[in-house]
Structure 1
């Protein structure tokens, strides 16, 4: 498995994705202890909470929500391997979905993130980063430029409050200078992630649109099993798949239909192991607001035009690191035996070079 940690000394490394099955003997159930970010007194519930309980979801706290880590007697390792070979479904309705409206929506969004949104074709999106004045990453997100007059944004549940505060503060400042933009929170839709090499084949009978024409990072409004949804060809497992934004009133119905079509339920345990194996960052674990895009190995998210305009928060620090190289960097480690725990020291000839 690919374990993503920080090294203080920059070294060359490339991200890779292993397709070697996760050994069922691994005690993956222990992963639940890492999925609880902070103690809370009240847990939010997604629109699919009752659905999870009905299907024997083992609920844990994650980002302030009650979420399934796995279902019934299906172990995390088994679920992981199923998605690597077939397809599975995750409830990611806890994530923040929003729209940015207004004639200056692109200019506003580019004040907040490092990506080139202006350069996107209609109905395509990109992974990008909210940054702060110090060049640190506030959150990672996907921003899609629709042909319907708005940007569609999906960001992390664990960063929801600070993302909203950041966007609202910057929006007020932007509008005070005459900018035309508005923020709309999408709270009447759930979000499903269908992931795995057989996702398209399994979904296609439920669609009128041809998924072969919905390329990676493309997004489109279409009916899924007769339900109006927004479907985006993306995911966070290292496999092919889509994310489906579905009206709350139809979310359970759609999930039951997908189960009947052969999609297997999957929980947070498999989602975490899949993204880790694929070398994908988890905010709060692998990146945070003290980590720059360059240190995180995410320089590719900074658009070429944005490097020239240098008009995003923290640009001076980030672009200097891009030129001079950082003194620490996130890399992947291949290890044998039990995986190292968080913050375990990494030694080279007895000297600590990272963690």
Structure 2
């Protein structure tokens, strides 16, 4: 057990991190991710309000579907990454990172207060939600779901396991879909998503029912509990970012290789925080890019230097580990754009020693999302 974002969290259970990682890829694992923060925005202006703070096309989502997006600041930097689900046109469900909870709630709350404020003398001029402080008197409210826990069921057996505990038909419930239905008698909010690259589900369940549901899940011989150790190795193998390592407020989605999150419709007006910075980067390019590596020798860790073969520093590792599934070292980091092409040979400096590395396309392990 280790401290993590104000919680005491398990690194591993009885399995080693190696065993737990490979088990999830072959069977199914349950991760207790109740430390994550679930939020709901409600009201007829909820979608427009949120689009002033994130880069995604929320209004363009079909009801009951969601996608990864990012909150940006005025510099275009990433405040947090989040999965956003449009439940209905007036209800948006988000899950944000535990380590970013306080700043996210403060950020959303400040803009929410401005959006809800009613002008005293005359209606506010609507200048677009790129400036939410001027969009006064809007119908939007925020609920924080501290009364709910979150379990992630991940792996190729996840669907079979979950189907055995619910009458809801999962056969046409695809990656990114959201629905409310009972699981093992508990009223759940289920999203077909996850943080492993495998097919799976994130299940929001009332705190009063979470132990009952967890017991039902792990009673299946295909399912084992997994902690933060395998969660990190699984997400790295899948090329997925960890906030605080691979993303921060000084890195834009373009630099992070997340340009795809800036939806086509949002590129017409760029009317979100930092939109003009991101518009310029899309037009002119960026000086650094997030890339993946496969390396020899000892695994590189966060802050390891990235150098050319002649020793010139060209970047820094943000995440790195030995891949239990590939049986080789993998890492990701930021490099000067001239060195970002797949196949480029570089060095990762580990404890003062240069280890040979090759820039490699991600994901390192192919994803198996259920997309129909």
Give the TM-score band, short-chain normalised.
Answer: 0.7 to 0.9
Aligned-residue offset at 1:149: 3.6
CA distance in 2, matches of 1:322, 1:300: 11
1:353 equivalenced with 2:353 (yes/no): no
CA distance in 2, matches of 1:252, 1:341: 35
Aligned-residue offset at 1:148: 7.8
Which residue number corresponds to residue 266 of structure 1?
A: 226
1:253 equivalenced with 2:212 (yes/no): yes
Rg bigger for which structure?
2
Q: How does 1:222-233 map to 2 (within 5 A)?
A: 222-233=181-192
**Residues 124-152 of structure 1: CA distance to partner in whole angstroms, max 9, x if unpaired?**
00100000001100000011001384110
Aligned-residue offset at 1:337: 2.3
**Residues 143-182 of structure 1: CA distance to partner in whole angstroms, max 9, x if unpaired?**
1001384110100000000000000001011122121100
Describe the SS at the equivalent of 2:52: helix
1:67 equivalenced with 2:9 (yes/no): yes
1:117 equivalenced with 2:76 (yes/no): no
Which residue number corresponds to residue 128 of structure 2?
A: none
CA RMSD after TM alignment: 0.9
Aligned-residue offset at 1:309: 1.8
Describe the SS at the equivalent of 2:164: helix
1:241 equivalenced with 2:210 (yes/no): no
CA distance in 2, matches of 1:341, 1:113: 30
**Residues 211-266 of structure 1: CA distance to partner in whole angstroms, max 9, x if unpaired?**
11210000000110121101100001111000000010000010001111232100
- Name the TM-score, length of structure 2 as normaliser: 0.78
Task: Give the one of 170, 173, 184 matched to 2:143.
Answer: 184
Which residue number corresponds to residue 285 of structure 1?
A: 245
Structure 1: any 5+ residue segments left out of the alignment?
1-58
Which residue number corresponds to residue 37 of structure 2?
A: 96
- Between structures 1 and 2, the one with greater strand share: 2
Describe the SS at the equivalent of 2:40: strand
Q: Is the 8 A contact 2:45 2:90 kept in 1?
A: no
CA distance in 1, matches of 2:294, 2:215: 39
- Between structures 1 and 2, the one with greater helix share: 1
Task: Give the one of 108, 130, 138 matched to 2:71.
Answer: 130
Structure 2: any 5+ residue segments left out of the alignment?
118-135, 317-372
TM-aligned CA distance change 1:148 to 1:325, over 3 Å? closer
Alignment length (residue pairs): 296
The runs of at least 4 consecutive aligned structure 1 residues that moved more than 4 Å come to none
Which residue number corresponds to residue 268 of structure 2?
A: 308
- Name the TM-score, length of structure 1 as normaliser: 0.82
1:87 equivalenced with 2:48 (yes/no): no
Aligned-residue offset at 1:207: 1.0
